[in-house]
Structure formats: structure tokens, C-alpha cells
Chain A
Amino acid sequence: MENIIEINNLSFKYPEQNQLFDNLSLSIEAGKWTAILGQNGSGKSTLARLVDGLLEAESGTIRVAGLEVNDDNLQLVRNQIGMVFQNPEDQFVGATVEDDVAFGLENREQPRQQMQLVVKESLEAVGMWEYRNRIPASLSGGQKQRVAIAGILAIKPKILILDESTSMLDPKGRQEIIDLVKEIKEKEELTVISITHDIEEAAIADRIVIINKGTVVADKTPIELLNREDFLKKYELETPFTTKLLSSLKELGISVPDKYLNDEELISWIKKSLSQK
């Protein structure tokens, strides 16, 4: 697979703060789901903003789908990337659901007739078409994030960046958004980058990158990484429920498989071991 995002020797610092990134290199494969984990202040969100050209790097290059991120290519790069931010309230530009989805299209000077088609299509894809005339104040957090995703689908990007998009949602809203992104990723063949604290969200990724103080400290698949409780604890990350259960079983003297299992895998493993007895 080709690399859709390539970051080479990136350096960046905020004014009056310590150097955040020093010579960071990272590449993201097209069509994959990559989760970026790390504690607060590790530079995850900053990295996403650098990739989208919302912040300017000190040195180093970033390429998105073959385009270098610089002032000349800014709009072209942003056509490739859709970002969903953390606070559902603060990214709702339009006065109604419909207007919000149309915002990105208006910025690209699309003709009105075309816009009407695309807005309908995008809102239907996220199941929010019936809500098109509602104002943001009357929607739940999860519904606002759905609208934000519809606004991104409308501009048909190749990359979807979720910048802690589920962190302000309740567990139900969170699961709904994750399921929706999963579905859309398959249908539109998107590359998904999810920046998150939620270990369950990271568990469904193809690859997990852990960033700590501006450097990549781990770059592995969930199966390789998520059963290592000590390692996760070291970077102040949550341990998945299944891993916790397995380590409790281990303490009770039961021999357990030495890899990460998701819920279904764990259930079938327990069933199997019980039936053997």
C-alpha cells in the first residue's frame, strides 16, 4: 500500500514552550485505520493540525497524497482531509443541520443545485436527513458529531481525521460514532486517523502509534500492543477490559493466551477452555 501521509524530519514548537517535535518521521498507509494514542500534551492534536496545515512546521516536510503541505497547496491538501474535532458545539458553523453540511461546499464555490444533491446524500449517509431543519441547540452531542461527519463526506476527502471526536460523548453516542466511521470507511475507502484516549476505539484500528513528549514510542498492531499492561501503564494509557480480565485470571493461576483478545475472542476462548474441562 502507498503511504498517503508522509512526515519527514518534522520539528515544531509553540511560542514560549519547549520543543514539541524534534525530527519526527511518520508515515500513514492509505486505506488503513491508524490510532494515535498518548497522554495529554504529548502532541497528538498538534500533529493533526500540522498535517492539515492549520499550524506551520518549523522545519521538515509533510506530504499528503503526494502534495506537500505549504501555503500554495493549502486548499488542495484540505480537500483531501476531513477533520472532526473534539467539541461538537464548537465546530457547528451553520445555523441549521443542512446549512452546516453545506458550509464546506460553499467554501469550494459549488453551484447550488449540486450542493442540494450532495447535502441530501451526505445527511442520508449518516442518518440525519430528517433533522435537516433543526438548530444545533436541539441536537445531542452524538447527533452533532454525525452532522460534522456528514459535512466531511460532502467534500469527499480521502482521509478522515478524528481528533478526540468521541471524548465528549456518552458511551452510547461514542459507540454509534465509531460504528458509523467503520461503515463509512469501508464504503468510501477512506484512510482513518483517530486521535484518542479511548482504548476500545484504538482496539479496532489496524495500527496503533503511541506518541509521548513528541516522539513515537510504539508503532504496532493492537494484537501486539494491547496485552502489555505494563507498557500501557507506563504511558498512562488505559488497559482494555479483556486484558485486565486475562491478567486477573493469570493471577489466579490460570494459563491464558499471551496476546490481545477482543470481546468475542475472549468469550470464545473462555467457552473453549470451560468445555475442555
Chain B
Amino acid sequence: MSNFIFGRYLPGESWIHKMSPQSKLLLCFFFVLTVFFANNVWTYGVLVVVMLGIILLSGVSISYFIKGIRPLIWLIIFTVLLQILFSSGGTPIWNWGPFSITDESLINGGYIFIRFLLIIMISTVLTLTTTPLAIADGVQTILKPLKYVHFPVETLALMLSIALRFVPTLMDELETIMNAQRSRGVDFGSGSIVKRVKSAVPLLVPLFSGAITHAENLSTAMEARGFADSEHRSKYRVYHWQGKDTITWLFMIIIFVIIIFIRK
């Protein structure tokens, strides 16, 4: 679990760290959208340069991004190989039964590889520079228009922030339960599928009942502290749209327009 970098936050003081979470979230979507518009060497070239610029701006060392890609490397290789081996069209270079490699499939495979890298990297930038709490607040800000169709945005945001807050607590608890059950002779992670599923029961049942106890105590404590409903509340933590956000957006829109013009 410790080398799983995706979804981890690294504190910092960079340009990207200081942007507001709602604009970062939207920009992340926008960048992914832009990536899907790219379809030739020039467009991918522009995007790779932009991506490198973003990584420099985030002030996070490149090794973190390499670590972020590592768990997904097999998926990437698998997809790229399928693309290379099974696509038709272009001049064939090599042939063997149903498999064939053409110059075009090689290029397409390369594009897919870059596309994967760009999408993983931009989402890694987002999670490395934004606290989970800020992401939850960003989601709330973005979803605000849904209030007009009576969607309970505040309640969702509160649930999200409580869920995030309890992740480490429940992880610790799971660890304790696992060790307690191990000390009583339960063997996790070996044997047949059926046996493995069965050995999960002594983990899940106490974890669930523990979660219910947590929920009951927490709701009592919240009520005692004057919580009545999630709508009539003020907000302590506020993220304002800043100059940095506007500048970054303008830049990204220019990049998008350029991509549209130089794609084939």
C-alpha cells in the first residue's frame, strides 16, 4: 500500500498547490477532454510540452509520477500491444497468422501510450497537490448548480468529508481486526478462492459492526454540538477563485484552440 502514490497528497507551496480546488478539478477534466482531441504528432507534441510545464509548476519531483504510473503499467502495455498487433491498414512490416504489425499501428500504439501517460499524470498532479478535504470542497462547489433541481449538495459534501475523515480510522481498525483474527488462527490470503472468501467473513463482520457503532456515536456527538441539518450552516473553509485560476484557464483554453487547429 505504501508505494501506491495515486491519491496521496504532498504538501507544498507551488502555483498549482495554491490554485482553488474547484478550478483544478474542472481543469483536470478539461485537460483529459483536450487529450482526446489530439490525433497527430504535432498535437501530442504540444500536450506533452504542456504536461511537462504543469509538472514543473507543481514543484513535485518527477519520480512521484513514475511511481504513480507503475501500478498501471501492465494495463498500459496490454492495451498498446493489442493496438499494435491487431490493427489493420498502412504498410505491413511483419506478419504472423492473425497478428500483423504495420507502420500505422506502431504510431497508433505510441499515441495510446502517450494518451495514457498524460491522463495518469494530470490526475496525479491533481491528487498530489490537493488535500482530499479540498477535493471534497471542490466537488461541493462544482455541484452547487444542482441545488436548483433539489439535489442535497451540502449533505453529499458532509458525507464525503466524514467518509474521507474515517478512511484512516477504519484502515487502522481493519489492521487490528486482521491481526486479532490471525492470532486466533485465521489464515488470510492462501488456499482456494472459496477458502479465501470464507476467511474474509471474520474481517467484514466486526468491521461493519464497528462502523455502525462509530456512526451512532458520531451522530450523537454531532447532535450534541448543535447539528440540526446540513443546509442551515455557515462554512469555515472557503476556497476562492483567484487570479492564478483565471490565468491557468486562459492558457488552457488557448492550448485547446491550438489543438483544434493543428489536428488533422
List A residues at the B interface (Cβ < 8 Å).
49, 52, 54, 75, 78-79, 81, 83, 85, 87, 89-96, 98-99, 102-112, 115-116, 119, 135-137, 151-152, 155
Contacts and interface: CB of A to CB of B under 8 A. Distances in A.
Interface string B192-226: 00000000000000000000011001101111111
Contact of A95 (B133, B225, B233, B238): B133
A54 B226 contact: no
Quick one: which of B136, B165, B172 has the most chain A CB within 10 A?
A: B165
A89 B214 contact: yes
A90 B218 contact: yes
Main secondary structure of the interface of A (DSSP, over half): helix
A108 B226 contact: yes
Contact of B169 (A103, A108, A136, A151): A136
B10 to A, nearest CB: 14
Interface of B: 132-133, 136, 161-162, 164-165, 168-169, 172, 213-214, 217-218, 220-228, 232-238
10 contacts: A75-B228, A78-B226, A83-B221, A93-B218, A95-B165, A106-B235, A107-B225, A107-B226, A135-B168, A137-B169
A107 B168 contact: no
A91 B172 CA distance: 17
Nearest to A110: B234
A205 to B, nearest CB: 22
Nearest to A94: B165
Contacts of B225: 78, 93, 103-104, 107, 151-152, 155
A87 B168 contact: no
Given A95-B136, A96-B133, 15 more contacts: A54-B224, A78-B226, A79-B226, A89-B214, A91-B221, A93-B162, A93-B222, A95-B165, A104-B225, A105-B236, A108-B226, A109-B233, A115-B236, A119-B236, A136-B168
